[in-house]
Chains A and B, each alone.
Chain A
Amino acid sequence: MIAYILRRLGMILLTLLAASIIIFSVTQLLPGDVAQVILGQFATPEAVANLRAELGLDRPIVVQYFDWLIRFIQGDWGTSMVSRMEVRPMVMARLRNSLMLASVAILMYVPLGILLGVISAIKEDGMADQLISGISMAFAGLPEFVTGLLLIGLLAVSFDFLPANSSIEPDTPFREAFQYLILPAITVSLTSLGYISRMTRSSTIDVLRSDYTRAADMKGLPRWQVLTKHVLRNSLLPTVTVVALGIGWLIGGLIVTESVFGYPGIGRLLVYSIQRRDVISIQAISMVIVTIYSFSNLIADILYGILNPRIRLGG
């Protein structure tokens, strides 16, 4: 088990390293010079050259990369080229907001997705299943900006039910922020809900058809006991991994949704930074997102290992 965790951890660190290379090289390919961008079109060539030297942009690219990576790991994420502020506190504040939103969303779509998936599986091919599958497939396919705007139209504008705009101050405490979180959270959830429920459905159907489920039925255990003790225990195992893999989706969803609602999260910051070509911020934000994504997968793998006796006990 420990060997398993160490192996996974090693893999993830290597992957992160490789991802950082991709991020760095993609952003460094920017047509146009970072120094030029900072100083604006009308800067003199000397000023640009000075700034380049100051920023270390005249060094070989590999040196720049390692310098950047090491600083990043040390927590020195640089200064924004646009706002001239330190990147780290800014990103961290926004990250907190995004995590808040993500948590609310996860608390909504994971339990609901599992529930719908299980119901669907039990009623395989019945009316309930076709309905759930159809609807969740439809939602899974709808881009967040479509569902988000429709929700705004429906709930916020028509009924004046919830705030349509979530552009709160970045450091609003959770309690106050909560009402602004609901619509964006629903928006993000709808996409991921379909994914979770479909995966749960298919793994549950597999288990329902297994010999050991039949055997449990034939033992005369009450149906709910067969379901909870024998079926779900096995069919929800893969869901752990599914949820973690879904975080990738969730992040995409957050980027779009935060823009739709003007919510001050990391996704909104990313869009803003890209529009302003703020390379330093883009790099930092990307690294933060990728790191979070990788580690959520690591945690899922560990959890899966703990829950699955085959891995826990070897064999």
Chain B
Amino acid sequence: MTTNTTVLDVKNLWVSYATDDGALNTVRNVTMKIARGEIYGLVGESGSGKTTLARALVRYLPRNGSISSGSISLGGVDLLALSQRELRKVWGARVTMVHQDPSKAINPSIPVGDQIAEMARTHLGMSRAQAKNKALEMLEKVQLPDPESVAARYPHQLSGGMLQRILIATALTTNPQFLIMDEPTTALDVTTEAVILDLVRDLLREYETAVLYITHNLGVVARICDRVGVMYAGELMEEGNIQQVFKQNYHPYTLGLLGCVPRIDASKHDIDLHTIPGHIPRPNALPDGCIFAPRCAMAEDACRKERPSLTEISDGHFTACRRWSEVADNIHIIAKDKSEEEEIDMSEIPLLLDARNIEKQFKVRRSGLSNIFAWKPDIVRAVDNMSIRVRKGATMGIVGESGCGKTTFARCIAGFESATSGDIFLNGEALPYSIKDRSKSTLKKIQLVFQNPDASLNPQHPVGQSVGRPLALLGNVLQSEIDQRVRELFEAVNLPADYVHRLPHELSGGEKQRVAIARAFAANPELMILDEPISSLDVSVQASLMNLLAELQKEKGVSYLFISHDLAAVRHLSDWIAVVYLGRIWEIGSAQDVFSPPYHPYTEALLSAIPIPDPNIHQERIRLQGSVPSAVNIPSGCRFHTRCPRKIGAICETESPTWQNVNRFHSICCHIPLEELNKLQAPITVEEREQP
């Protein structure tokens, strides 16, 4: 940032793929520059061409892909003029890459240290011993404890966060001019992500590398990037520095994307999320004029005639919108305030689900040399004494990181797993643990929407049949009535009626999830368990699904048990929130209370870690070190003590903390007195916008 030498200079780049349907131009006319020491964020939804662009930049395209025109210069070298052999000398030396899923991007059968050292040997001409030292040095750089022992390990012996550090270390070994990071934290938990992002930011300052940071997460961009380019359907829509793009954007798509992201300080009662109607066009079916026109709220006839090109409006701020100057005036299209909704006294609402002291243990056998005679299996305490209540027509959000037991808990409620102990009451009536022992009428009352839309619909059944089946099961229903109901349900989830005959593979992910929601509602349930229903989808699709869920809830009075790792989504949809760590709840209360001080130290860390798409947000920098202990050897005392940044001393290690009530509904389980917590902790705030 201090110097302004251009490292990467791309001009009018076109990339196309040869497919059965002819040539597809997936990246069109992209021009961009990245300077030394600059972190350039490239955001876009799936299908935007961002990954293709990244691979084209280093000329590492799949066999059927090619660069059809344009130029790429890296540090003054014309990359397109290089032979394959010369290119390999550039790869690894002048440009490196950090891939998305660290557990897949590292060779499983080579010790990780060797995989860093081979970089040094190939490009720095080091001897075996020198390279080994270099590897250790790099491991230290990325703050891995005990580099010697880490270097000798294989990937399966290390956690995701550690592996991602190793990938970063590898990429920086040769001190490259240019680094591409492709969704490097997407596969990680939010607290790990925060630590890695800090590390990346610090290291890159030190190395002064030019970085292309690809992500779908606007919050991550706001946290670590200097400049940002917004891609849509293969073209750049807007480009500028962080303040320009986040605070004074000139493109309706950027504005729309920002409006899709749920906010940490508002819920479904306060706002509707913005949605972007329609789909990204396929590269072989682009509209004539502005490619965003079919989905743009500000489109007018002139937009559909001629395609606007990316133009510089002010100092480094580019947009591909004709009506850029009016975008700021249209801010209302994304902020749908509904604060006039009246508050209801929640304690008045009757309980629907009352789950008490649920425990679930699994037995696993250990393998390995030392365990030949360990015939006694290990006990995994996946869920260890969790209690929650869900009120009628309300949403209980359960939030926690992967492996915390939230999904197992939900599956116990649903009856897929038989709880080891505890009580489940629905409408005051005790439910058997297993789905096999529950009556048909009870089964109907609880429905589930799953995470993976691909797996939740039978690929061999037309989707209409999937939705109609729960109705047919009721018996005594005429086929014509079923068809009628299916049409209604499709309408309720905003799917065209003629979709009923389609097979799942003919639908997009968001559409499949709508079908899954329709199917769940077909049974007219009282409790709907939503297990990460939106996590695998793009932000704009997420937003429309969250709106849909909120709307359906209001209409049908159904209760939701919403399981998610995404704090903002949980905040948006939930009336109540429970925070889970290592199989237990640590804080529970109304959504608003849980997300404002006093917090449990773990909640506080989560809130501080979550990337918020606003460059001016102020979050305390609280980071969790290490990784979650295994559910086999749960730490003594407060089970969070191994990582708790606020740990007060030996008492945390020896004694289990007890519940403290903040108010009638809000409780925290920690040794630190509430007044103390209140004093220590700060709410998340947004600074007023500085005028550029």
Of B92, B101, B167, B366, most buried by chain A (CB within 10 Å of CB) is B92
Contact pick for A220, options B101, B105, B123, B372, CB 8 Å: B123
B646 within 8 A of partner (CB)? no
Selected interface stretch from A194-202, A227-235, A245-253: A227-235
CB–CB B371/A313 < 8 A: no
Q: How far is the CA of A308 from the CA of B163 in the complex (A)?
A: 19
CB–CB B91/A218 < 8 A: yes
CB–CB A234/B60 < 8 A: no
Query: Number of contacting residues on B, CB 8 A?
Result: 35
A210 within 8 A of partner (CB)? yes
Instruction: List chain B residues, Cβ under 8 A from A229.
Output: 110, 118
What mask results when residues 82 to 122 of chain B are scored 1 for a CB within 8 Å of chain A, else 0? 00000011111100110111001111111000000011001
Residues in A1-45 with C-beta less than 8 Å from chain B: 1-4, 6
B450 within 8 A of partner (CB)? no
CB–CB A211/B101 < 8 A: yes
What mask results when residues 118 to 159 of chain B are scored 1 for a CB within 8 Å of chain A, else 0? 110011000000000000000000000000000000101100
Closest-by-CB residue of B relative to A234 is: B109
B480 within 8 A of partner (CB)? no
Q: How far is the CA of A310 from the CA of B372 in the complex (A)?
A: 17
Instruction: List chain A residues, Cβ under 8 A from B92.
Output: 218-221
Q: How far is the CA of A71 from the CA of B387 in the complex (A)?
A: 65
Closest-by-CB residue of A relative to B100 is: A211
Query: Known contacts being A3-B368, A220-B92, A313-B157, is A211 close to B105, with CB within 8 Å?
Result: yes
CB of B166 to closest CB in A, whole Å = 11
CB–CB A3/B118 < 8 A: no
Query: Known contacts being A212-B107, A229-B110, is A3 close to B371, with CB within 8 Å?
Result: yes
B644 within 8 A of partner (CB)? no
Query: Known contacts being A3-B372, A214-B99, A313-B157, is A220 close to B109, with CB within 8 Å?
Result: no
B367 within 8 A of partner (CB)? yes
CB–CB A234/B107 < 8 A: yes
Instruction: List chain A residues, Cβ under 8 A from B108.
Output: 212, 234, 309-310
Instruction: List chain A residues, Cβ under 8 A from B101.
Output: 211
CB–CB A219/B369 < 8 A: no
A146 within 8 A of partner (CB)? no
B58 within 8 A of partner (CB)? yes
Closest-by-CB residue of A relative to B98 is: A215
CB–CB A220/B88 < 8 A: yes
A48 within 8 A of partner (CB)? no
Of A210, A214, A215, most buried by chain B (CB within 10 Å of CB) is A215
A216 within 8 A of partner (CB)? yes
Taking residues whose C-beta sits less than 8 angstroms from the other chain, chain A's interface range is 20 to 34
Instruction: List chain B residues, Cβ under 8 A from A60.
Output: none
CB of A131 to closest CB in B, whole Å = 18
Q: How far is the CA of A3 from the CA of B370 in the complex (A)?
A: 9
Contact pick for A315, options B91, B97, B105, B157, CB 8 Å: B157
Q: How far is the CA of A209 from the CA of B104 in the complex (A)?
A: 11
CB of A163 to closest CB in B, whole Å = 45
CB of A157 to closest CB in B, whole Å = 46
A223 within 8 A of partner (CB)? yes
Instruction: List chain A residues, Cβ under 8 A from B118.
Output: 219, 221, 225, 229
Instruction: List chain A residues, Cβ under 8 A from B368.
Output: 1, 3, 313-315
CB of A221 to closest CB in B, whole Å = 6
A237 within 8 A of partner (CB)? yes
Q: How far is the CA of A230 from the CA of B170 in the complex (A)?
A: 15
A75 within 8 A of partner (CB)? no
A222 within 8 A of partner (CB)? yes
Instruction: List chain B residues, Cβ under 8 A from A210.
Output: 104
Instruction: List chain A residues, Cβ under 8 A from B106.
Output: 212, 215
Contact pick for B88, options A4, A212, A222, A307, CB 8 Å: A222
CB–CB B372/A309 < 8 A: no
Query: Known contacts being A210-B104, A215-B105, A313-B157, is A2 close to B123, with CB within 8 Å?
Result: no
Instruction: List chain A residues, Cβ under 8 A from B369.
Output: 1-3, 314
CB–CB B104/A313 < 8 A: no
Q: How far is the CA of A63 from the CA of B579 in the complex (A)?
A: 67
CB–CB B93/A309 < 8 A: no
Instruction: List chain B residues, Cβ under 8 A from A214.
Output: 60, 99, 105
CB–CB A219/B122 < 8 A: yes
CB–CB A217/B91 < 8 A: yes
CB–CB B109/A211 < 8 A: no
Instruction: List chain B residues, Cβ under 8 A from A3.
Output: 367-369, 371-372
Instruction: List chain B residues, Cβ under 8 A from A233.
Output: 107, 109-110
CB of A123 to closest CB in B, whole Å = 10
Q: How far is the CA of A219 from the CA of B96 in the complex (A)?
A: 7
Instruction: List chain B residues, Cβ under 8 A from A230.
Output: 107, 110
CB–CB A310/B156 < 8 A: yes
Q: How far is the CA of A214 from the CA of B118 in the complex (A)?
A: 15
CB of B51 to closest CB in A, whole Å = 12
Query: Known contacts being A3-B368, A309-B156, is A211 close to B122, with CB within 8 Å?
Result: no
Closest-by-CB residue of B relative to A213 is: B107
CB–CB B109/A4 < 8 A: no
CB of A219 to closest CB in B, whole Å = 4
Report A's interface with B, CB cutoff 8 A.
Answer: 1-4, 6, 210-212, 214-223, 225, 229-230, 233-234, 237, 307-310, 313-315
Q: Known A-B contacts: A1-B369, A315-B156. Give 4 more (CB < 8 A).
A: A3-B368, A219-B96, A219-B118, A308-B109
- 4 nearest CB pairs, A to B: A220-B92, A314-B368, A220-B91, A211-B104
A-B contact pairs, 19 of them (CB 8 A): A6-B372, A212-B107, A215-B106, A216-B107, A217-B60, A218-B92, A219-B91, A220-B93, A222-B122, A223-B88, A225-B118, A233-B109, A309-B109, A309-B156, A310-B156, A313-B156, A314-B369, A315-B154, A315-B157
